[in-house]
């Protein structure tokens, strides 16, 4: 391999950083990266980055972390080199004083609106020169960035004023400009102190970036897809008897060749795991308002994945909403229809778990069998009414498995009118579930078969 | 294709506008001989990329379409048992019963390459000419199938119990596509280069549409691409793909439309939106905006 001598250890260290952030980089990926850099001119910044990304980051999630780490790592590497060789840029802040603040602002707005990264960087330097007290800010980069942004009066253009000659700036553009400011300030700080600050792990916020509800929905969908695969292959293959096996003609004929064309041995079609039947009950009362949107989106995602799924929503009584989910695709429309025609908007609006179980037992319990899975999404707050845990116990007895997802942190269980413990003992397992991360944990536990005594 | 830039222009000359990462990964695939895993939403040109590589390199394209329940017999090879049976019968009929045929001899005869039905994977491996192997929608199969692919993808060889190992004579370019409907196994990912294709930026999609419908007026093309990206922002069952943007552009050409107003839109909407519920949603959210002279860029 004809790699530049200094490069290989650098890239290996870069991969270390990635591993520390949870990107699975194996030795084979590392070798691929070297091989790729061998055939790509690595002096081209874009090619270098893409070649590394193609060999190392193997999901959109990993790619995002890759980009963040890449910027951090190679920026730091370059700065460390500069300190080593005592390179300085002394006159970087000249010319700032002569600039008019308004002109500067306009130039920056223009650059942001047109997305010219190079100009943004130069202007960030100018802005630091103009407002950064000649590079001697507070010493805390974040504070300086905000101070300079405020002095520049950079704010996103509200949608109502998006017309006329004023360039349109969105939050994204300002973030990009702030990133340039931050980088330039960091560079100045490193030059002044002649050492690198310790590298920080990426903040959780940087990594997950849950910016829009649709994106959140996407991560719910991802967790549910996993759930689907695991439920579908879990322990059911073994059940059922051999007597229904179907003969596989093709394989039988093939094996008959060994015996000169006489089919002595029958070959059977392999047993496909049976699809599980899932029944989901979702609390939509006022006490779980914030969580019910999340739960409905879980339901929504489940409906996309399972054909045999019945869903119910409940407050005081239960109401089957399977059809609503099958008819409608738009999530907002679904929540509207459920609140309107779900038939659950009862008199008081308070959950009555006891009644819910009674109704569930009479209406649905006959359809339950050992292959069905019941998932309850609710906070187990009965508003002081009788919980009827014994009926719930019957239900979970009939169903193969019963899971309870509670939107409250475990800490609040059994406080006030929560009767979680009464139900929990009858469940296969109960989980707190108020972020997609919890949902993923639920999926993992279900798949790992822990807290599952009977299977 | 000897450099990234060359790959890019080669792909462009066969009608595929690749962006920087796509061109680079296609180049690396050929250079390193590693399979490429292409992921992204439906209709961004994942399959098209493989076809374009095949056209640009002049290699034959062998396609394996994956589906639930795909097994070795459909993907790798199968013994042609009818032919084998016929062969046995023909042998025993023509032969003098007095001279007993050695069964071992018969066995080697019927388990030879003459009696194999090659399926896409074996075909790609045993082809004397270098080929492009497209394994489409790998996420539709189950994990067992993925495991079976590993041997093919890392060593470009297939082990047949009756015949032994068949190694590839030439190095195929392998492209796997996935709609990301399930997480693929780490083992598979480790053997592949990774490329994430997303819906193109406005400018690039304009270029693509212009490449395929060059007669369409430039302003109209821009308008069309803007409308499409507006529709993609809605939560649809099936957002319009790039191919559908091109179809729509061609339809507008045929109709001789000079602007996308509400009427043309409702008439031609069925080209880009293919679900009843989607059509309602799009008509409600996008259709009404088109009449107004100053359409907002983003739907609320």
- What residue has token string 């119990």? B161
Cβ-Cβ contacts under 8 Å, A47 against chain B? 4, 20, 24
A253 & A181 share domain: no
pLDDT digits (tens, 9 = 90+) for A32-43: 898 888 888 767
Where residue B132 falls among pLDDT bands split at 50, 70, 90? very high
Please say whether the beta carbons of A250 and B81 come within 8 A: yes
* Residue B139 confidence (pLDDT): 84
Domain-embedded: residue A326: yes
Residue A319 to residue A310: CA distance in whole angstroms: 11
* Residue B64 confidence (pLDDT): 92
* pTM confidence score: 0.62
* DSSP code per residue over B105-152: HHHHHHTSGGGEEE-HHHHHHH-SS-EEEEEETGGGS-HHHHHHHHHH
* Residue B110 confidence (pLDDT): 82
A76 & A120 share domain: no
Q: Over range A9-27, report the average pLDDT.
A: 86
Q: Decide if A54 and B25 are in contact by the 8 Å CB cutoff.
A: yes
Please say whether the beta carbons of A410 and A317 come within 8 A: no
A266 & A282 share domain: no
In angstroms, what separates the C-alpha of B268 from chain A's closest C-alpha? Answer: 22
Q: Over range A371-382, report the average pLDDT.
A: 83
Which range has the top average pLDDT, A7-11, A179-183, A234-238, A325-329?
A7-11
**Which residue of B182, B193, B298 is in closest CB contact with A54?**
B193
Domain-embedded: residue A310: yes
* Residue B135 confidence (pLDDT): 93
In angstroms, what separates the C-alpha of A50 from chain B's closest C-alpha? Answer: 6
**Which residue of B81, B189, B194 is in closest CB contact with A257?**
B81
Q: Over range A295-303, report the average pLDDT.
A: 71
Residues 258-287 of chain B with CB under 8 A from chain A are 275, 277-278, 281
Residue B35 to residue B38: CA distance in whole angstroms: 10
Q: Is the pLDDT of residue A113 over 50?
A: yes
A172 & A65 share domain: no
Cβ-Cβ contacts under 8 Å, A272 against chain B? 69
* Residue A168 confidence (pLDDT): 65
**Among B245, B197, B254, B198, which Cα is nearest to B225's?**
B245
Provide the CATH number for the domain around residue A421: 3.40.50.410
Give chain B's mean pLDDT: 84
Residue of B235, B273, B297, B299 to mutate, testing the A interface (most A Cβ within 10 Å of its Cβ):
B235
Q: Is the pLDDT of residue B61 over 90?
A: yes
What percent of the residues of chain B are helix, what percent strand, and what percent coil, each to the nearest 5?
A: 55, 15, 35
Distance of CA A453 to the CA centre of its chain: 30
Contacts of residue B37, defined as CB under 8 A and 6 or more positions apart, other chains included, come to A58, B138, B176, B177, B178, B184, B188, B189, B192, B193, B194, B195
* Residue A356 confidence (pLDDT): 85
A307 & A444 share domain: yes
* Residue B195 confidence (pLDDT): 92
What percent of the residues of chain A are helix, what percent strand, and what percent coil, each to the nearest 5?
A: 55, 10, 35
Q: Decide if B192 and A59 are in contact by the 8 Å CB cutoff.
A: no
Residue A220 to residue B127: CA distance in whole angstroms: 44
In angstroms, what separates the C-alpha of B231 from chain A's closest C-alpha? Answer: 14
Where residue A307 falls among pLDDT bands split at 50, 70, 90? low
* Residue B62 confidence (pLDDT): 93
Cβ-Cβ contacts under 8 Å, A329 against chain B? 235-237, 275, 277-278
Residue A35 to residue A218: CA distance in whole angstroms: 35
A157 & A292 share domain: no
3-state secondary structure of B157: strand
The dihedrals phi and psi of B77, each to the nearest 5 degrees, come to -165, 165
In angstroms, what separates the C-alpha of B31 from chain A's closest C-alpha? Answer: 7
**Which residue range forms the structural domain that includes residue A108?**
101-199
Q: What is the token pair recorded at A64?
A: 């995002």
Q: Is the pLDDT of residue B300 over 90?
A: no
**Which residue of B28, B237, B297 is in closest CB contact with A40?**
B28
* A157 vs A207, residue with greater confidence: A157
Residue B54 to residue B50: CA distance in whole angstroms: 6
A117 & A195 share domain: yes
Where residue A160 falls among pLDDT bands split at 50, 70, 90? low
- What residue has token string 């559908």? B244
**Among B122, B130, B117, which Cα is nearest to B165's?**
B122
Domain stops at, among A54, A84, A114: A84
In angstroms, what separates the C-alpha of A280 from chain B's closest C-alpha? Answer: 22
**Which residue of B192, B194, B237 is in closest CB contact with A329?**
B237
* Residue A398 confidence (pLDDT): 85
**Which residue of B24, B190, B196 is in closest CB contact with A26?**
B190
Q: Decide if B278 and A329 are in contact by the 8 Å CB cutoff.
A: yes
Comparing B82-96, B209-223, B236-250, which segment has the lowest mean pLDDT?
A: B82-96
Residue of B2, B3, B4, B181 to mutate, testing the A interface (most A Cβ within 10 Å of its Cβ):
B4
Where residue A449 falls among pLDDT bands split at 50, 70, 90? very low
Q: What is the token pair recorded at A275?
A: 């699809």
DSSP conformation class of A364:
T
A286 & A333 share domain: yes
**Which residue of A40, A58, A60 is in closest CB contact with B189?**
A58
B112 touches chain A (CB under 8 A): no
Q: Is the pLDDT of residue B194 over 80?
A: yes
DSSP conformation class of A276:
P
Angle CA A208–A209–A210, to nearest 5: 100
* Residue A290 confidence (pLDDT): 59
Cβ-Cβ contacts under 8 Å, B237 against chain A? 329
Torsion of CA A355, A361, A362, A364, to 10 degrees: 120
A293 & A395 share domain: yes
Name the percent of chain A lying above pLDDT 70. Answer: 65
Per-residue burial over A370-407, b if 16 or more Cβ lie within 10 Å, else e, is ebbbbbbbbbbbbeebebbbebbbbbbebbbbbbbbbb
Distance of CA B203 to the CA centre of its chain: 24
Q: Is the pLDDT of residue A211 over 50?
A: no
Domain-embedded: residue A114: yes
* Residue A226 confidence (pLDDT): 64
Cβ-Cβ contacts under 8 Å, A163 against chain B? 294
Classify the C-alpha dihedral A310-A316-A317-A320 as positive or negative: negative
A303 & A407 share domain: yes
Beta-ladder partners of B174: B133
**Among A288, A312, A303, A285, which Cα is nearest to A395's?**
A312
Where residue B59 falls among pLDDT bands split at 50, 70, 90? very high
Where residue B55 falls among pLDDT bands split at 50, 70, 90? very high
Minimum CA–CA partner of B189 in chain A:
A58
* Residue A330 confidence (pLDDT): 63
Minimum CA–CA partner of A249 in chain B:
B81
Residue A449 to residue A101: CA distance in whole angstroms: 64
Which range has the top average pLDDT, A142-156, B25-39, B171-185?
B25-39
Which residues of A lie inside 8 Å of B (Cβ-Cβ)?
24, 26, 28-29, 32, 35-36, 39-41, 46-47, 50-51, 53-55, 57-60, 63, 159, 162-163, 214, 225-226, 229, 250, 253-254, 257, 260-261, 272, 327-331
Domain-embedded: residue A63: yes
**Which residue of A41, A46, A272 is in closest CB contact with B20?**
A46
Q: Could you give the number of structural domains in chain A?
A: 4
Please say whether the beta carbons of B57 and A230 come within 8 A: no
Contacts of residue A309, defined as CB under 8 A and 6 or more positions apart, other chains included, come to A277, A278, A279, A280, A302, A303, A322
Where residue B63 falls among pLDDT bands split at 50, 70, 90? very high
A322 & A412 share domain: yes
Which range has the top average pLDDT, A272-276, A278-282, B246-250?
B246-250
**Which residue of B31, B186, B194 is in closest CB contact with A24?**
B186
Residue of A1, A305, A329, A332 to mutate, testing the B interface (most B Cβ within 10 Å of its Cβ):
A329
Residue A46 to residue A56: CA distance in whole angstroms: 15
Q: Is the pLDDT of residue A297 over 60?
A: yes
B40: left (phi over 0), alpha (psi -120 to 50) or beta: left
- Pairing status of strand A309-314 against strand A277-283: parallel
Q: Is the pLDDT of residue A197 over 80?
A: no
In angstroms, what separates the C-alpha of B246 from chain A's closest C-alpha? Answer: 26
Residue A39 to residue A27: CA distance in whole angstroms: 19
Q: Over range A411-428, report the average pLDDT.
A: 84
A295 & A430 share domain: yes
* Residue A214 confidence (pLDDT): 42
Task: Report in angstroms the alpha-carbon separations of B86 from B80, B93, B204.
Answer: 10, 10, 58
Q: Decide if A254 and B183 are in contact by the 8 Å CB cutoff.
A: no
* B195 vs A213, residue with greater confidence: B195
In angstroms, what separates the C-alpha of A454 from chain B's closest C-alpha? Answer: 26
* Residue B65 confidence (pLDDT): 92
pLDDT digits (tens, 9 = 90+) for A308-324: 778 888 887 788 888 77
Q: Is the pLDDT of residue A1 over 60?
A: no
Domain-embedded: residue A381: yes
Domain-embedded: residue A232: no
Domain stops at, among A84, A111, A130: A84
Contacts of residue B78, defined as CB under 8 A and 6 or more positions apart, other chains included, come to B116, B117, B119
Domain-embedded: residue A221: no
- What residue has token string 């996309």? A304
Domain-embedded: residue A360: yes
Q: What is the token pair recorded at A430?
A: 């109960």
pLDDT digits (tens, 9 = 90+) for B201-233: 888 899 888 888 888 888 888 888 888 888 888
Domain stops at, among A37, A54, A84: A84
B136 touches chain A (CB under 8 A): no
Residue A429 to residue A448: CA distance in whole angstroms: 13
Cβ-Cβ contacts under 8 Å, B231 against chain A? none
């Amino acid at each position: 391999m004809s790699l530049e001598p200094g490069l290989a250890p650098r890239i290996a260290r870069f991969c270390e950083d990635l591993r520390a952030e949870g990107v699975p980089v194996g030795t084979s990926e590392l070798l691929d990266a070297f091989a790729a850099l061998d055939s790509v001119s690595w002096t081209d910044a874009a090619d270098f980055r893409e070649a590394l990304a193609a060999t190392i980051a193997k999901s959109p999630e990993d790619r995002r972390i890759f980009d963040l780490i890449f910027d951090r790592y190679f920026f730091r590497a370059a700065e460390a080199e500069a300190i080593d060789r005592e390179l300085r840029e002394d006159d970087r802040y000249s010319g700032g004083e002569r600039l008019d603040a308004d002109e500067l602002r306009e130039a920056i707005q223009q650059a942001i609106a047109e997305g010219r990264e190079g100009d943004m960087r130069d202007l960030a330097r100018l802005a630091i020169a103009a407002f950064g007290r000649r590079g001697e800010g507070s010493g805390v980069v974040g504070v300086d960035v905000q101070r300079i942004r405020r002095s520049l009066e950079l704010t996103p253009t509200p949608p109502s004023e998006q017309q006329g000659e004023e360039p349109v700036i969105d939050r994204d553009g300002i973030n990009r400009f702030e990133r340039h400011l931050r980088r330039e300030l960091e560079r100045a700080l490193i030059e002044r102190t002649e050492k690198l600050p310790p590298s920080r792990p990426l903040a959780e916020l940087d990594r997950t970036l849950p910016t829009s509800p649709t994106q959140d929905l996407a991560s719910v969908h991802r967790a549910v897809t996993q759930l689907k695969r695991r439920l579908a292959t879990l322990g059911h293959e073994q059940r059922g008897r051999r007597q229904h096996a179907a003969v596989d003609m093709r394989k039988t004929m093939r094996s008959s060749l060994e015996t000169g064309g006489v089919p002595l041995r029958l070959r059977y079609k392999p047993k496909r795991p049976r699809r599980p039947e899932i029944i989901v009950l979702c609390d939509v009362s006022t006490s779980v308002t914030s969580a019910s949107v999340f739960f409905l989106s879980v339901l929504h995602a489940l409906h996309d994945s399972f054909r045999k799924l019945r869903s119910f929503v409940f407050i005081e009584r239960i109401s089957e909403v399977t059809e609503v989910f099958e008819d409608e695709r738009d999530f907002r429309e679904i929540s509207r229809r459920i609140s309107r025609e779900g038939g659950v908007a009862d008199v008081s609006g308070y959950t009555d778990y006891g009644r819910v179980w009674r109704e569930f037992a009479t209406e649905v319990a006959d359809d339950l069998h050992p292959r069905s899975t019941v998932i309850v999404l609710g906070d187990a707050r009965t508003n002081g009414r009788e919980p009827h845990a014994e009926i719930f116990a019957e239900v979970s007895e009939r169903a193969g498995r019963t899971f309870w997802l509670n939107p409250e942190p475990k800490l609040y269980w059994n406080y006030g009118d929560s009767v979680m413990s009464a139900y929990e003992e009858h469940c296969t397992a109960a989980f707190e579930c108020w972020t997609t991360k919890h949902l993923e944990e639920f999926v993992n536990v279900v798949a790992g078969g822990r807290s599952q005594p009977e299977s | 294709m000897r450099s990234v830039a060359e790959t890019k222009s080669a792909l462009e000359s066969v009608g595929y506008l690749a962006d920087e990462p796509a061109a680079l990964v296609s180049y690396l695939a050929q250079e390193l001989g590693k399979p490429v895993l292409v992921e992204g939403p439906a209709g961004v040109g994942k399959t098209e990329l493989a076809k374009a590589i095949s056209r640009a390199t002049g290699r034959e394209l062998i396609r394996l379409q994956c589906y639930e329940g795909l097994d070795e017999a459909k993907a790798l090879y199968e013994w042609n048992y009818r032919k084998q049976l016929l062969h046995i019968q023909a042998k025993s009929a023509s032969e003098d019963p007095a001279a007993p045929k050695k069964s071992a001899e018969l066995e080697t005869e019927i388990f030879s390459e003459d009696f194999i039905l090659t399926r896409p994977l074996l075909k790609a491996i045993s082809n004397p000419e270098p080929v492009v192997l497209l394994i489409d929608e790998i996420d539709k199969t189950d994990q067992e199938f993925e495991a079976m692919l590993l041997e093919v993808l890392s060593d470009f060889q297939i082990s047949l119990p009756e015949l032994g190992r068949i190694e590839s004579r030439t190095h195929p370019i392998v492209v796997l596509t996935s709609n990301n409907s399930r997480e693929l196994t780490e083992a598979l990912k480790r053997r592949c280069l990774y490329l994430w294709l997303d819906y193109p930026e406005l400018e690039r999609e304009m270029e693509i549409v212009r490449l395929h419908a060059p007669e369409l007026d430039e302003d109209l093309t821009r308008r069309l691409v803007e409308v499409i990206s507006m529709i993609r922002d809605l939560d649809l069952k099936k957002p319009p793909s790039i191919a559908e943007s091109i179809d729509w552009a061609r339809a507008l050409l045929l109709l001789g439309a000079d602007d996308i107003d509400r009427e043309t839109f409702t008439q031609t909407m069925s080209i880009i939106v293919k679900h009843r519920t989607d059509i309602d949603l799009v008509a409600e959210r996008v259709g009404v905006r088109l009449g107004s002279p100053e359409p907002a860029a983003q739907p609320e």
